[in-house]
Amino acid sequence: MTEEIYFENQYFAVSHLRAENAVFCRVKTSYVPMMDFQVAFNHIGELVEREKIGRMIFDKSNLITFHQPSMEWYHVHWKERMYQHGLKTYWKVLPKNDFFVQSVKIGRDKIRKNNPSFDFDKYDIRYFDRLEDALASEA
C-alpha cells in the first residue's frame, strides 16, 4: 500500500491510496467541531471528484464524542454528492467503546427517520474492529 499524503490538520490525516482507488481518513482527536468536519470533508470531496475514488477507509477509533449533526450532514449531503462521483464503499473503524458504537446505531436510526429518502443500502458500509482488518479487506 502506497500512501500519498493529501492533507493533514489538527483533526484529520488524509491520504490517497492510489493503487487501491481509495482515500484513507484518520481522525486524530477525540472530537471534531462540525465546521472543521465539513471543511475537511469538502476538501476530501475534491480529491474524490478529481480522482474518481470508489472507496473510503474512515478510521474513527480516536473519537470519544459522537456528534449527530455532523453525521447527518455527512450521510445526507456529503455522501449523496460523492455517490454521484463513484464513491460508494465506506469501511469504518470505530472506537473500542460500546457507548460510541451504540450512539452510531441510534444516530443511523435517527437519520433514517428524519430523512426517509436517504438509502443506506445503496452503499457498501462495513465496520471493522481494527484498522489492519479494514486495510487488508478486499473490495
pTM, two decimals, is 0.91
What is the domain range of residue 121?
Answer: 4-136
Residue type, 92: K
| 117 φ, ψ (degrees, to nearest 5) | -85, -10
Tally of domains within the chain: 1
- Written as tens digits, the pLDDT of the chain (139 aa) is 678 999 999 999 999 999 999 999 999 999 999 999 999 999 999 999 999 999 999 999 999 987 889 999 999 999 999 999 999 999 999 999 998 889 889 999 999 999 999 999 999 999 998 888 887 887 6
Contacts with 109 (C-beta within 8 Å, 6 or more apart), sequence order: none
The CATH number given to whatever domain includes residue 8 is 3.30.750.24
Distance (Å, whole) CA 70 – CA 131: 22
The strand order across the sheet containing 12-17 reads 4-8, 12-17, 22-27, 55-59, 89-93, 124-128
